[in-house]
Structure 1
């Protein structure tokens, strides 16, 4: 169903697991930051990277859940290198504090996975008075990436190892507002649609990755930037949508996309 077993040029398909994709990789010299690593895709990403020897920094808002994930990883992989750091992507001050603290450790940065996000939230403003989905899904990650770029560039120069930036987006980007991103109406509650606003933030993730990739190529910088649609799984991204939160696992193989709402459920990440 949905081409789950169809393999691409890489030899993997959409049903391939992180363990399968990273089989045989030994990455003990690498350091990665994974945002939103306290649950779902972020937690599994952190676990598998740690299993392959990567020093993983979990950038999270929920320190209790993150520490539980860390303990679980260490129980499975006693030699794992995993640290937890506070990161609230809805606050530019928190993003600044996170980047400053990380850079002060003098750790290298090989991999940045911008994974954290929320989906279909009702209209709310962040602490910086920006619509919450745009703030968390896009602006926070945009700011974080900029603050960490010098570190990553230095790391690639000194290590001769290609750097990687991954923006977790969604195929739901194509269902944004008509005309694309409505910059002039980001904070307008009268025209707000929670699903369209979600798609808007995911489109911004993709455009961010494309522009980063263009600049890296133009400047001869050995860093790749990519965006991806991770699929539909049970994660805390559905926190603000009761319909999705309670039924996402059953929905994977029983969706009849007869309305815009249900179509959005398919693509939500």
Structure 2
């Protein structure tokens, strides 16, 4: 976070809101998928992108909640283009169904915002994978892979750069010593929920970096970046009652508001200054340096290969 809200090179700071960083931007030619769009920064991202004219597809686990959000946004922004589709990122079957339905809709896809995330005690997903890794990383990895050809087609036909945005966290620094526990992903022994969360957020960054490298090699007009939204009081902590209570106590003094928390996502998704920028990590709507582990090309390649073994088991 820029000290005391001072502005970084982009002209924005930790106190900038999503509306402020997108002021004057016309997104009416764009179609975006936002995961986890029914609450928190996902909901605010949906609102602000809709305000800028983007056609939004809210990918949500709870469709009723998503429809309620849609109705509220339509009352606020008459004429907004918003659709709601079911997506459970902890289930590969749900992800594959979503991707198939999206492709059948023949909608273009300019922006893919992988926003949804969880913090939980130890649990396994529908597919038997540790839930942080499954929901926060592997689900978005699979979703991105399934929709990549649609994004490439859209970029070619529209001549508009596609953007993939992974909402990570500065919590990626709090991970296991080996970074990614390839041989212990589902091992409950030695498990610590915040390390598991950090591991999944590190994976988000490595995913964006490796995808960016490959897209550049292929000459594809799609960028892939990751970001830290800032410390925000959202329902992601609903399973950690002590931390949730503590954050509610101090939140008004030290944490960002939801509009501030969605700013970096909206900046990376829409701002013209980010055109052509790929493989970077953003914080407070500015490019931010990462740890050496988050820059490890070999680790990123290994993670990609490992991920394909999980989504395509023999």
TM-score, normalisation: structure 2: 0.79
Which residue matches 1:167? 166
Which residue matches 1:40? 40
Which shifted more, 33-42 or 241-250? 241-250
Cα distance per residue 1:71-109 (max 9 Å; x no partner):
110000010000110000000000000000011100000
Partner Cα separation in structure 1 for residue 102 and residue 30 of structure 2: 15
| Shift in Å, 1:4 | 4.3
Unaligned runs of 5+ in 1: 256-269
| Shift in Å, 1:14 | 1.6
Cα gap change, 1:230 to 1:254, in 2 (>3 Å): closer
Q: Give the number of equivalent residue pairs.
A: 254
Could you list the structure 1 runs, at least 4 aligned residues long, displaced by more than 4 angstroms after superposition: none
Which residue matches 2:238? 239
Partner Cα separation in structure 2 for residue 194 and residue 136 of structure 1: 14
Counterparts of 1:82-101 in structure 2, within 5 Å, are 82-101=82-101
Q: Is the 8 A contact 1:185 1:191 kept in 2?
A: no
1:211 has 2:210 as partner: yes
Which residue matches 2:61? 61
Partner Cα separation in structure 1 for residue 2 and residue 191 of structure 2: 31
3-state SS in 2 of match to 1:185: coil
Which residue matches 1:187? 186
3-state SS in 2 of match to 1:189: coil
Which residue matches 2:224? 225
Which residue matches 2:5? 5
| Shift in Å, 1:180 | 0.7
Unaligned runs of 5+ in 2: 256-314
Cα gap change, 1:104 to 1:254, in 2 (>3 Å): closer
| Shift in Å, 1:250 | 3.2
Which shifted more, 240-249 or 16-25? 240-249
Which shifted more, 77-86 or 2-11? 2-11
Give the CA RMSD over aligned residues: 1.4
| Shift in Å, 1:246 | 3.2
Cα distance per residue 1:237-256 (max 9 Å; x no partner):
1121112333424323369x
Partner Cα separation in structure 2 for residue 159 and residue 77 of structure 1: 26
Report 1 or 2 for greater relative contact order, CA contacts < 8 Å, sequence distance ≥ 6: 2
